[in-house]
């Protein structure tokens, strides 16, 4: 016999058991799911992260062909009007926007010449200045808005620097010869008379006057004229040429100093090469073999420290101190040593040479 409570109790028990079962299964499922979903410790440890290679975009330098193409409009040939014929007598290049052309003094004997540009145009040119000690001459053509080379753009080249010698032999484009700086004037341990550079391969004397371009298209020097017959020409650094050309452009007169020397600026590369403790200052770049400076014992590469006990810190200061002539006591630094030399000026003739 039933009391009326049995079935309700059983329903309640079944319902509670079902709920407990559902909750339990959910907990067990979450636990095992987490266990099976968790990466194996060894595998996670050994798994390599994704590798993303970032390759920087390469900016290739201009090729030699691009360099020559850009420089060629500023390179010319010169014909000596006194020699006759149409063949170029010397190479040269433009150094000012108003038509000034730099070349070697020995190749053109007269006061006039014909300048042949790389695109075939011919211009009459007038000789406006010489620096005989440096062996260079400046001519001018009546042509404006030219694209000149900046001689102050390049520093003193290091041994091993590669370059291109460029010239325009026939007014139909440019020709080039690759070269390398094989040694400088300090390599032998003595400065000598000129702050010149030697090519690793002997140069053809017919290249005299041609610019030597560095990898950026800047002029690092000019091929000079051999000092003795049968000798390969040296390269005159742009750091030597720059102040001489600047003076010629200003005065159109040769730098006829009474001591037979040329002074240049101590550039950062030169200061490092010479072991000088600072940039700036004045340095001897060329000396006349028969001038007072060479006879007194001075050499190219000597850094001027003082003149007549007055400290010298620039090319202009040295020029002013020596302009009066007479006698001068010059203290220089040479290979870490301080030396003093006494110079006696030679008389300067009107239109004389440096």
pLDDT bracket for residue 38 (50, 70, 90): low
Rounded to an integer, the average pLDDT of 312-320 is 92
pLDDT bracket for residue 137 (50, 70, 90): very high
pLDDT at residue number 274: 85
pLDDT at residue number 352: 41
Contact 292, 343 (CB under 8 A): yes
Rounded to an integer, the average pLDDT of 337-346 is 92
Report d(CA 101, CA 115) in Å as an integer. Answer: 9
Residues 6+ apart with CB under 8 A from 101: 76, 78, 92, 93, 94, 95, 115, 125, 138, 139, 140, 141
The pLDDT tens digits of the residues spanning 250-309 come to 876 655 568 999 999 998 988 888 888 887 899 999 999 889 999 999 999 999 999 999
Q: DSSP string of 131-146?
A: ETTTTEEEEEES--S-
pLDDT at residue number 345: 87
pLDDT at residue number 86: 58
Report d(CA 145, CA 124) in Å as an integer. Answer: 17
pLDDT at residue number 351: 44
The pLDDT tens digits of the residues spanning 231-252 come to 788 999 999 999 899 989 987 6
- Considering the entire predicted model, what is its pTM? 0.76
* Total Cβ atoms within 10 A of residue 320: 13
pLDDT bracket for residue 225 (50, 70, 90): confident
Evaluate if residue 332 carries a pLDDT over 60: yes
Contact 125, 111 (CB under 8 A): no
CA–CA distance from 240 to each of 132, 159, 163, 341 (Å)?
14, 16, 17, 22
| Same fold across 64-238 and 256-344 | no
Evaluate if residue 92 carries a pLDDT over 90: yes
Evaluate if residue 6 carries a pLDDT over 80: no
DSSP 259: T
pLDDT at residue number 293: 94
Evaluate if residue 221 carries a pLDDT over 80: yes
Report d(CA 157, CA 198) in Å as an integer. Answer: 11
At residue 217, the 3 state secondary structure works out as coil
At residue 257, the 3 state secondary structure works out as coil
pLDDT at residue number 84: 65
pLDDT bracket for residue 341 (50, 70, 90): very high
Evaluate if residue 127 carries a pLDDT over 70: yes
Report d(CA 69, CA 346) in Å as an integer. Answer: 47
> Range with the lowest mean pLDDT among 46-55, 153-162, 182-191, 220-229?
46-55
Evaluate if residue 217 carries a pLDDT over 90: yes
The pLDDT tens digits of the residues spanning 15-27 come to 555 555 555 555 5
pLDDT bracket for residue 350 (50, 70, 90): very low
pLDDT at residue number 276: 87
pLDDT at residue number 310: 95
pLDDT at residue number 323: 83
Which tops the pLDDT comparison, 218 or 39?
A: 218
* Total Cβ atoms within 10 A of residue 70: 13
pLDDT bracket for residue 35 (50, 70, 90): low
CA–CA distance from 13 to each of 19, 240, 338 (Å)?
10, 111, 114
pLDDT at residue number 335: 83
Which tops the pLDDT comparison, 19 or 195?
A: 195
pLDDT at residue number 343: 92
Q: Comparing C-alpha atoms, which of 285, 218, 234 is closest to residue 255?
A: 285
Report d(CA 206, CA 263) in Å as an integer. Answer: 28
Domain boundaries, the chain: 64-238, 256-344
- Across all residues in the chain, what is the average pLDDT? 82
Evaluate if residue 201 carries a pLDDT over 50: yes
Report d(CA 226, CA 234) in Å as an integer. Answer: 7
pLDDT at residue number 175: 95
pLDDT at residue number 324: 78
Superfamily of domain 256-344: PDZ domain (2.30.42.10)
Which tops the pLDDT comparison, 195 or 118?
A: 118
Q: Going by CATH, does the domain composed of 64-238 fall within 3.40.50.2020?
A: no
At residue 74, the 3 state secondary structure works out as helix
Per-residue buried b or exposed e for 21-34, using 16+ beta carbons within 10 Å of the residue's own CB: eeeeeeeeeeeeee
């Amino acid at each position: 016999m039933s009391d009326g409570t049995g079935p309700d109790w059983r329903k309640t028990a079944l319902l509670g058991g079902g709920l407990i079962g559902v909750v339990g299964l959910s907990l067990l499922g979450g636990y095992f799911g987490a266990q099976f979903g968790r990466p194996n410790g060894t595998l996670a440890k050994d798994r390599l992260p994704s590798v993303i290679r970032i390759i920087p975009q390469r900016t290739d330098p201009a090729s030699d062909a691009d360099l020559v193409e850009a420089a060629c409009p500023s390179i010319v040939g010169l014909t000596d009007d006194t020699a006759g014929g149409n063949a170029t007598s010397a190479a040269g290049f433009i150094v000012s926007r108003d038509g000034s052309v730099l070349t070697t003094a020995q190749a053109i004997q007269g006061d006039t010449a014909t300048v042949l540009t790389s695109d075939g145009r011919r211009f009459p040119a007038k000789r406006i200045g010489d620096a005989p000690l440096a062996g260079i001459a400046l001519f001018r053509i009546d042509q404006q808005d030219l694209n000149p080379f900046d001689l102050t753009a390049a520093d003193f080249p290091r041994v091993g620097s590669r370059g291109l010698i460029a010239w325009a032999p026939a007014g139909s484009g440019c020709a080039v010869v690759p070269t390398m700086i094989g040694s400088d004037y300090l390599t032998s341990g003595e400065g000598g008379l000129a702050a010149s550079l030697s090519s690793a391969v002997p140069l053809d004397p017919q290249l005299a006057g041609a610019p030597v371009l560095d990898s950026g298209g800047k002029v690092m020097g000019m091929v000079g004229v051999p000092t003795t017959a049968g000798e390969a020409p040296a390269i005159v650094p742009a750091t030597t040429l720059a102040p001489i050309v600047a003076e010629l452009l200003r005065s159109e007169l040769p730098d006829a100093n009474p001591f037979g020397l040329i002074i240049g600026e101590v550039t950062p590369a030169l200061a490092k090469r010479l072991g000088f403790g600072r940039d700036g200052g004045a340095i001897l770049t060329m000396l006349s073999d028969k001038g007072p400076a060479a006879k007194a014992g001075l050499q190219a590469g000597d850094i001027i420290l003082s003149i007549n006990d007055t400290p010298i810190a620039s090319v202009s200061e040295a020029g002013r101190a020596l302009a009066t002539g007479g006698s001068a006591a010059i203290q220089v630094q040479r290979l870490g040593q301080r030396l003093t030399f006494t110079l006696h000026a030679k008389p300067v003739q009107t239109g004389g040479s440096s």
